[in-house]
Chains A and B, each alone.
Chain A
């Protein structure tokens, strides 16, 4: 059957309410008896708290309560319980919350903050992950190694700042490099950066007199949040209700939990009051979850024909003050640092290191950009050494049917077409030859290929509830969070397809509420279209089966013979029909006698047979899906200013099926520009005293319109597969993964300089061009 909704550029279901300003975000929510919170942050990166005096602040106008962490014995986490909701006896980064003032207005709360006196005993601090991992570094967590943790997945080194060591041992290092004719090796740096969603994080928490906790939060993971808080407070998860309104962007920075435990802890001191906190931009960058922060070294060995023989990598992650959100990123960076290539031998060590900086969590790409930055740059270097093109080396080593990835999993044809992606990108770049260098500009081109496989809990699943109304319309209920990626639109398209209903007749519930929404692991890893879509298919299949059963009762025939088509059950012999609406509450005869069940059904999907990696080899069936792609760009460098202009950026991804091609293009054009920010502009800087200093716009510079590429080419390949709903696969984070190496490879082409640390700012380019001249 030809598809009616999947694959069509349906306008977004949330567009009108967002265009009018009607869409509700957490900052827009006002509750009765609501207090406003302001947070006192440490201001010093590493110190013991000798005392906190809140007496003056408590007496300020409008102040209801000043909450500190003194006496708080709680730690929260999902796999590693190392973080209190507020600093207790020491602070571990300058943005760490030390006290929360609850007042009638924000201004009153802000005024009272200034009256809190904290006496600190400063301790030496460390920001660099390599230094922090070295012996003798200031110890950030004395209890590292003895915190409660899920032992199979988190591997701390007690007595050090390394709270997680992921090792991959595929094959043999010595044998692999012995077979190599050439090797390339370098050191790389991917700095700490901000996901920088336009909407700052916010949360409202309210404890009732009955002990129930109700939360409204800008969060991608309502059920994780609920379970983490239930665990932290030692109350039943069923006593906690989490509402999620629209999110103004997330990019991972709002996944897991960030500010909510602190707000909930503060709210627990004022039962009956709602406590609202919306972060300032400065707090988003210095006091919530941030991203990346990798320092690494990688070596690749290859035969003269370009065939890879071995890869060896070490990565140190500046994961910040607390480790629960960092360790899985580290593991994934290890799994995927090979990129979409087969290495018969791959030896990788990744260290998640406590540093005196904000905690690192998910950031679009989740470990993949960090590791593949290294391999993609090294392939470019190797090509010059072997006098081959980078594309030739890529094609030689691409994962394809029958090849094994770093985890030892065998790739199938249906996993995607890297060759097709690279062909398309090369062709797009070739269509527009670079102008010759001139007095002012030098030009260059670069390419990189990528793969991403989502990291998830092995039991991660999506659940779906579908119900039909008496007018034949249907509503679909899932807990996938709409944060801009278009998930509600894509859900509606897939549900309309599965139920064969007009698009207008399908409604996806937009407010996620743990009291009513079916369970969902969390909206991360680009899994909603794929996993949520399969759950929708499952629920819709069950719903149609139920409709047929009721029709069979009405017609007194076998349900198996009934045909379902476009919202109607059809009797194949008599041609009689019964619409979904007629069957919605069971079928009611003229006299009122009713048969059959009300039309509602549930469905679910879990990526099958995922396991955590083996603690010794780091291998196993840890990746349940792959999406492959390639990117390339043409750029020009202004010799006088060092400024880079991307003239053309081409992307090709094998998405299996684009459920909404326009929305998919939007993910890609946006991801490319976000990746460009990482490549050329973005880095959180710290003062000599260890305090994040560029925490406002524009000190923290993210791309504006004039920075964006002059042109983007986007091509979506659609290799049929048995995994995704109508073949649709994850694709939302993917556009960012290869952007930095693509741009740096092009910069190498233009300038002859091998940049290996991000961001490559105009100042660094000018400096490098000067050095290059001196070389001549």
Chain B
């Protein structure tokens, strides 16, 4: 049986992989119980399954589990550790950017990767990041607002 060793939300993990194709999303959700990562399409197109892998946003439904070997992965569960919302999460709540909430964790993780790497990302960069995600509820207006609010909050906290 194949074994995957990697770090998830700061904790080293060892996961036994079943036969056949196993994706990172399935490891996180089914093996580790981190169900905050959502699977909406299985083809990396909707962005709901986005997590941060070695600092980069990846769609975990298209990353074969073996590719996660030795990496450090952050999921939505890492952001509000201790029960305090991360400024990006707080921004989504305040901006009214959440309706059904299925796309939310993925978008939050995408912005987490972006703002960690590039806190002063310009509008175009932010829009390009958000364009990798699908939301069927909001029409995106409040999501854009939340992204800008998140950036402001993160800047203020610097």
Q: Which residues of A contact B (CB under 8 A)?
A: 9, 11-12, 14-25, 27-28, 30, 105, 107-108, 110-111, 196-200, 246-249, 251, 280-281, 483-486, 662-663, 666, 669-674, 696-698, 702, 704-706, 708-709, 712
Contacts and interface: CB of A to CB of B under 8 A. Distances in A.
| Interface hub of A19, A107, A671, A673 (most chain B Cβ within 10 A) | A19
Given A199-B40, A706-B131, A246 B100 contact: yes
B117 interface: no
Interface residues of B, number: 56
A199 B96 contact: no
Contacts of A663: 96
Contacts of A199: 38, 40, 100, 102
Interface string B92-114: 11101011111111001000000
Given A666-B137, A696-B45, A704-B131, A16 B19 contact: no
Nearest to A196: B136
A197 B77 contact: no
B18 interface: yes
Contact of A696 (B43, B75, B101): B43
B36 to A, nearest CB: 2
Contacts of A486: 99
| Interface hub of A12, A14, A281, A705 (most chain B Cβ within 10 A) | A705
B42 A280 contact: yes
A200 B75 CA distance: 21
A64 to B, nearest CB: 16
Contacts of B38: 21, 25, 27, 198-199, 248
A249 B136 contact: yes
Nearest to A15: B93
A198 B22 CA distance: 22
B19 A281 contact: no
A743 to B, nearest CB: 14
| Interface hub of A14, A17, A198 (most chain B Cβ within 10 A) | A198
27 contacts: A11-B94, A15-B92, A21-B34, A21-B36, A21-B37, A21-B38, A21-B75, A21-B76, A21-B104, A25-B35, A28-B29, A105-B18, A107-B19, A111-B20, A198-B38, A248-B100, A248-B101, A281-B46, A666-B99, A666-B142, A669-B141, A696-B42, A698-B45, A704-B134, A705-B131, A705-B144, A706-B127
B57 interface: no
Contacts of B127: 705-706
A28 B137 contact: no
A114 B38 CA distance: 27
Interface of B: 18-22, 29, 33-43, 45-46, 48, 75-77, 79-80, 85, 89-90, 92-94, 96, 98-105, 108, 127, 130-131, 133-144
Nearest to B103: A198
A697 B100 contact: no
B102 A25 contact: yes
A199 B106 CA distance: 13
A198 B136 contact: yes
Contacts, number: 177
A573 to B, nearest CB: 47
B141 A18 contact: no
Contacts of A248: 38, 40, 100-102
A682 to B, nearest CB: 11
A716 B38 CA distance: 34
Nearest to B37: A21
A24 B108 contact: no
Contacts of A27: 29, 35, 38-39
A485 B138 CA distance: 10
B19 A20 contact: no
Contact of B41 (A9, A18, A110, A696): A696
B114 to A, nearest CB: 14
Nearest to A708: B140
Contacts of B46: 198, 281, 697
B101 A14 contact: yes
A697 B136 CA distance: 13
A666 B136 contact: no
A291 to B, nearest CB: 13
A281 B39 CA distance: 9
Contacts of B22: 107
Contacts of B100: 18, 197-199, 246-249, 483-484
A541 to B, nearest CB: 31
A11 B140 contact: no
A720 to B, nearest CB: 26
B133 to A, nearest CB: 8
